Amino acid sequence: MTNEEPRLPARELLERLEPALSPARRIRAMAALIAGVAGALFVVGLWATEPGPLPGRTHLAFGLLAAFCLGWACYGGWLLRRRVALFATDRVVAGWLALVASASTTTLLIVLAVQRGEGLGVALGAGAPVVVVALALTVRAHVQRAALLRRRRDLTGGT
């Protein structure tokens, strides 16, 4: 007697790999959507109520923060609209959003620190670890997605 499990036909196995969006994923997508919209409204509200004329870099910072928030809101909405597992595409998109947001924010902090002539160590110490983690998660998401796509290609016979 062998301990081999019965083999499933490729189509049935693929159907099991593509379940509906799990409740936990649905909650995370909804949280991203709500937090993104709330963050964008908060930043734009703050931006609009600032007294007096603002320097150009302050307008840039407010605009970037609002854009990042809207990016997360779009990501959450996209996940909720798809309602199916995306073969890790969702993690790749989230990784790129996190990487762009963290790198842009860190760059802005470094530029401000250099212009002021102080705080460069704090800016690097706060921003660099976040960028490194975002980069590692993005690379990991790409690797996992590639592995899943290879497996799907193998199961479907290369189609």
pLDDT digits (tens, 9 = 90+) for 38-89: 999 999 998 888 888 989 888 988 999 999 999 999 988 988 887 666 668 8
Helix, strand and coil in the chain, % to nearest 5: 80, 0, 20
Collapse the DSSP code of 84 into the 3-class scheme (helix H, G, I; strand E, B; otherwise coil) and give the result.
strand
What is the percentage of the chain residues whose pLDDT exceeds 70?
82
Mean per-residue pLDDT of the chain: 83
* Single pTM value for the model: 0.63
Residue-range domain boundaries for the chain? 21-85, 87-159
Buried b (16+ CB within 10 A) or exposed e, 51-88: eeeeeeeeeebbebbbebbbbbbbbbbbbeeeeebbbb
On the question of pLDDT at 136 being above 90, the answer is: yes
| Strand-pair partners of 20 | 84
Give pLDDT, residue 91. Answer: 85
